[in-house]
Amino acid sequence: MRKRESIFEGIDLSVLSLYYLLVFIGFISVLAAVYNPETFSLTNLSLNYNKQLLFIVASTIIGLLILSIEGRLIEPLSFPFYLLTLILLVAVLFFGAKISGARSWFQIGAFSLQPGEFAKLSTAMMVATVLGSATKKNFKKKVLLATLIVAIPALLILPQPDLGSTVVFSSFLLVFYREGLSIYFVLIALALAVFFILALVIDPLILSLVLGGFGLFVAILWRRSRAVWITTLGVTAIVVLFVQSVDFAFYNLLEDRHRNRINIMLGKAHDPKGIGYNTHQSMIAIGSGGFWGKGFLQGTQTKYDFVPEQQTDFIFCTIGEEWGFVGSFTFITIFLLFIYRILVLAERQKLAYARIFAYSVASILFFHFAVNIAMTIGLFPVIGIPLPFISSGGSSMLAFSMMIFILLRLDTYRTEIL
């Protein structure tokens, strides 16, 4: 084991630079979203941009602490950290403060802590621990255990209710696929998502009859192969049962606001002044930015508070309005480069734990990034997913930053292993 001379020795400067570039973009975007020349101050901590700056500083301090610890100690911390976040997720259901209809936060003075954000990090660490010890013999068992590890926090977050954070845990499917899970499982998950949407657009009975007829046709076509015949009928029966259960799930497991937003997205409802107001105004703000944008602090949609929650879930429309198509495209390029670089780091790891953790981080970040932007432009229902490093929020800033600094420390630890 080779000893480092400095905590910065061997650190990947491209990931670190892109991280701070995104953090800077986030700070000026939050500042633009809530800016008021009459109340502007860099010392008043009740203002969102000052809170954001405080959490950026806190993230840097925590990051330095992470970089200074022994690399071999990170994996053993996975289980205690995971267990702690599960305890906090249970506690927040009973003792958490209700904000925007969800009991997801612990209120600590002027600040709030959201355990769900840290659960994504602890789950990534725990999944890396479990799958990192997988062999060809026990791979299926390890995947089942990892699936359980992902499902527990997701199911604890769902009743808060926080549909957005719950859905994020599905991103671990990409990690499982990278580690050897059959592509068929990924395709099945995508197919179920498609059938779910189709069952909302088409009458479930008609859809079931079409799918059942198609399944029966395939079974007859392959009747000489008993195994294919039985499998086809079995899969068809499962799909038909799933389609028939969609209505129950849609009307009993989702809240009214989520149902309404999905209906608006699917074109089954139109309510630009009600539940669809946020998305409608967000699209107006982005469109009004044109090619070059209106300039920093010059966004009229932003300045006059037309978009609710603009500093959090809808922060991308601030970028779109003030920096236009050019700024939006540049930001998207920077974020995708950031994720690409994380994948490069993942592939060069010597330890399976580090590789799997890096892929988990990349998957979580990409899911947040893609869904958040899709929400702001009306391609996905609004389910409350922040844009990493950009949206205002201390818990998300700290949790995402910890992911990056743990990844950087694991990457430098790679150079210490002889």
How many whole angstroms separate alpha carbon 402 and alpha carbon 63?
6
Q: Which residue has the tokens 């990844």?
A: 407
Residue 83 is predicted with a pLDDT of: 97
Q: What angle, rounded to 10 degrees, do the helices at 78-95 and 139-157 form?
A: 30
Q: Which of 49, 88, 18 is nearest to 297 (CA)?
A: 49
Bridge partners for 97 per DSSP = 105
pLDDT in tens, 351-399: 999 999 999 999 999 999 999 998 888 777 777 789 999 998 889 999 9
Q: Find the distance separating the first CA and the last CA of the chain, reported in whole Å.
A: 6
Four-CA torsion 317, 321, 323, 327, nearest 10 degrees:
40
* Residue 380 CA from chain centroid, whole number: 14
Integer Cα distance of 103 and 345 in angstroms: 37
What is the sign, positive or negative, of the torsion defined by CA atoms of 63, 157, 263, 310?
A: negative
Instruction: Please write down the HEC assignment for all residues of the chain.
Output: CCCCCCCCCCCCHHHHHHHHHHHHHHHHHHHHHHCCCCCCCCCCCCCHHHHHHHHHHHHHHHHHHHHHCCHHHCHHHHHHHHHHHHHHHHHHHHHCEEECCEEEEEEECCEEECHHHHHHHHHHHHHHHHHHCCCCCCHHHHHHHHHHHHHHHHHHHCCCCCHHHHHHHHHHHHHHHHCCCCHHHHHHHHHHHHHHHHHHHCCHHHHHHHHHHHHHHHHHHCCCCHHHHHHHHHHHHHHHHHHHHHHHHHHHCCCHHHHHHHHHHCCCCCCCCCCCHHHHHHHHHHHHCCCCCCCCCCCHHHHCCCCCCCCCCCCHHHHHHHHHHHHHHHHHHHHHHHHHHHHHHHHCCCCHHHHHHHHHHHHHHHHHHHHHHHHHCCCCCCCCCCCCCCCCCHHHHHHHHHHHHHHHHHHHHHCCCC
Strand order in the sheet with 102-108: 97-99, 102-108, 111-113
Per-residue pLDDT, 387: 93
CA 28 – CA 87 distance, rounded (Å)? 35
User: Contact, 274 vs 224, CB < 8 A?
Assistant: no
Q: Which residue has the tokens 């621990």?
A: 129
pTM of the model: 0.90
Sign, CA torsion 74/76/77/82:
positive
* Residue in the block written with tokens 């799918």: 211
pLDDT in tens, the chain (418 residues): 566 667 888 899 999 999 999 999 999 999 888 887 777 777 777 778 888 999 999 999 999 999 999 888 999 999 999 999 999 999 998 888 877 667 888 887 777 889 999 999 999 999 999 999 888 888 989 999 999 999 999 999 988 878 788 889 999 999 999 998 888 888 888 888 887 777 777 777 887 888 878 877 777 776 666 666 677 777 778 878 887 887 777 777 666 666 766 776 666 665 555 556 677 677 777 878 788 888 887 877 766 666 766 777 888 988 988 898 999 999 999 999 999 999 999 999 989 999 999 999 999 999 999 999 988 887 777 777 899 999 988 899 999 999 999 999 999 988 777 5
Distance CA 82, CA 153 (A): 9
CA-based nearest residue to 48, from 305, 259, 261, 418: 305
Cα dist from 243 to 98, 158, 213, 380, whole Å: 34, 22, 14, 21
pLDDT at 111: 75
Q: How far apart are CA 115 and CA 253, in angstroms?
A: 22
Please write the tens of the pLDDT for every residue from 280-326. 677 777 878 788 888 887 877 766 666 766 777 888 988 988 898 99
